[in-house]
Amino acid sequence: MNKRIFLDPLFKNNPVSILALGICSALAVTVRLQPALVMALSVTLVTGFSELILSMLRKTVPNRIRIIVQLVVVAALVILVDQILKAFAWQTSRQLSVFVGLIITNCIIMGRIEAFALSNKPFPSFVDGIANGLGYGIILVAVSFFRELFGSGTLMGYPVIPEQWYVANGGFYENNGLFILPPMALIVVGLIVWVFNAKNEKKAWKK
Amino acid sequence: MEEIINIFVKSVFVENMIFAYFLGMCSYLAVSKTVKTAAGLGLAVIFVLLITLPVNYLLNRYVLAPGALALINPAWAEVDLSFLSFILFIAVIAAMVQLVEMIVEKFAPALYNNLGIFLPLIAVNCAILGGSLFMQEREFETIAQVFSFALGSGFGWFLAIVSIAAIREKLSYSNIPAPMRGLGIAFIITGLMGIAFMSFMGIQL
């Protein structure tokens, strides 16, 4: 049971590529791999713990004010993440700028709380939150992998394209500047969605 | 005055909420199937941005910013409450959306019928919170600049959602590969529109 809750959101019901949730804060941080990893980790932690807390509170919070309670819990967790990042990873925190705050309005968190945590026990909710965060992280890391590789020729800041390939050194290769610009993030996600859908369809067809 | 118009033009075209920062993508993708509903949501976003940004600006300036509380008591000049800004901004947005919904329902039922269903959606629209956070980051000097920024980014969002809705309406007649239909093609079209918008880069009045 718990295994299924964990594995489903990674590929089959991936929150980003299948359900179109949580793209808002995702794409602006995908120019490089490192901030994308930090962002994925933060979202995973916030989703997991907010589902855990709200699932424990689910019987005490009146239905009518639940949205406000959810926002407060999520916002408090995001403040924690933001303060921790500011204290221990100042550079990354600068790069992420307002997008850490925007985790609050990430639709994955609100969507999973409404759909899962309010009707399930704390531990499965926690697993569900972590898994959805990781599903989101997979897309984020995939997008930023391609953007950093083709856009700047590095991965995690380390050069991977050999120096002598570049035109400046008499080679044939040049970085594709388009990959650094925002629109390319959308196109890469579009292609990833295509791959995911094509794969899922094939499975359904085989059955 | 020139500065104010400049902020407006910049936030509509150069720093468009959707094409440059991907804010509000969830509702942008979900509600862009027909032009009419897209226009309704776009108008509601402009409306809510115009109300919440000035309120959050005043809150930021007179309560949260470092040393702002010195106006009340000089002993508090050292107090820096800016770590509370996320929670206060989102509370203001949620409260304002609720308030606006009640007021509009009472005094303008016709407008409520058009905007009503979208208002609750907007409380968790990233474009609204994003607007407030950008406003805090950019440190605008006067409230007129804040109004112009709110109007500009709302209008930019409106423009983006209405144009993609128009494209998607036409798209339902074209032959797209099956796995690409719906979400996939919407992403790619948004990307192409973003590239078109990049031609405005560097415009300054």
By Cβ distance, the residue of B129, B184, B191 closest to A101 is B129
Q: What is the pLDDT of residue B162?
A: 92
Residue A98's beta-bridge partner residues?
A: none
Nearest CA in chain A to B29: A20
Residues of B in contact with A190 (CB under 8 A): 180, 184-188, 191
Residue A141's beta-bridge partner residues?
A: none
Q: What is the pLDDT of residue A16?
A: 67
| Residues B147, A172: Cα–Cα separation, whole Å | 50
Q: What is the mean pLDDT of residues B120-140?
A: 81
pLDDT of residue A206 exceeding 50: no
Q: What is the pLDDT of residue B158?
A: 92
- Model pTM greater than 0.95? no
Q: What is the pLDDT of residue A205?
A: 44
Residues of A in contact with B90 (CB under 8 A): 71, 75, 104-105
Q: What is the mean pLDDT of residues B102-108?
A: 81
**pLDDT tens track for A30-48:** 888 888 888 889 889 999 9
Q: What is the pLDDT of residue B91?
A: 85
pLDDT of residue A98 exceeding 70: yes
Q: What is the pLDDT of residue A26?
A: 66
Q: What is the pLDDT of residue A207?
A: 37
Q: Are A134 and A10 in contact (CB under 8 A)?
A: yes
Mean pLDDT for chain A? 80
Rounded to 10 degrees, the C-alpha dihedral B150/B155/B161/B162 comes to 160
| Residues A68, A71: Cα–Cα separation, whole Å | 5
How many beta-carbon pairs below 8 A join chains A and B? 135
pLDDT of residue A203 exceeding 60: no
Kindly list the domain boundaries of chain A, sorted by start residue. Answer: 2-201
Q: What is the pLDDT of residue B155?
A: 93
CA dist A61 → A57, A69, A75, B39, B91 (Å): 6, 8, 17, 36, 18
By CB atoms closer than 10 A (0-12, 13-18, 19+), residue A168 is: exposed
Which amino acid makes up residue B44?
A
Residues of A in contact with B188 (CB under 8 A): 186-187, 190-191
Q: What are phi and psi of B96, to 5 degrees?
A: -65, -40
| Residues A68, B91: Cα–Cα separation, whole Å | 8
pLDDT of residue B45 exceeding 60: yes
Distance from B6 to chain A by nearest Cα, in Å? 22
Q: Are B86 and A78 in contact (CB under 8 A)?
A: yes
Residue A25 pLDDT grade (very low, low, confident, very high; cuts 50, 70, 90): low
Distance from A43 to chain B by nearest Cα, in Å? 15
Stronger pLDDT, B88 or A166, i.e. the higher one: B88
Distance from A10 to chain B by nearest Cα, in Å? 18
Distance from B124 to chain A by nearest Cα, in Å? 5
Q: Among residues of chain B, what percentage have pLDDT more than 70?
A: 95
pLDDT of residue B120 exceeding 80: no
Which tokens sit at B30? 């979900």
By Cβ distance, the residue of A21, A98, A190 closest to B133 is A98
By Cβ distance, the residue of A20, A76, A194 closest to B30 is A20
Q: What is the mean pLDDT of residues B151-158?
A: 92
Q: What is the mean pLDDT of residues B98-104?
A: 80
Q: Are B50 and B148 in contact (CB under 8 A)?
A: no
Q: What is the ipTM of this complex?
A: 0.77
Rounded to 10 degrees, the C-alpha dihedral A136/A139/A141/A147 comes to -140
**pLDDT tens track for A104-141:** 887 788 888 888 888 888 888 888 888 888 888 888 88
Q: What are phi and psi of B198, to 5 degrees?
A: -65, -20
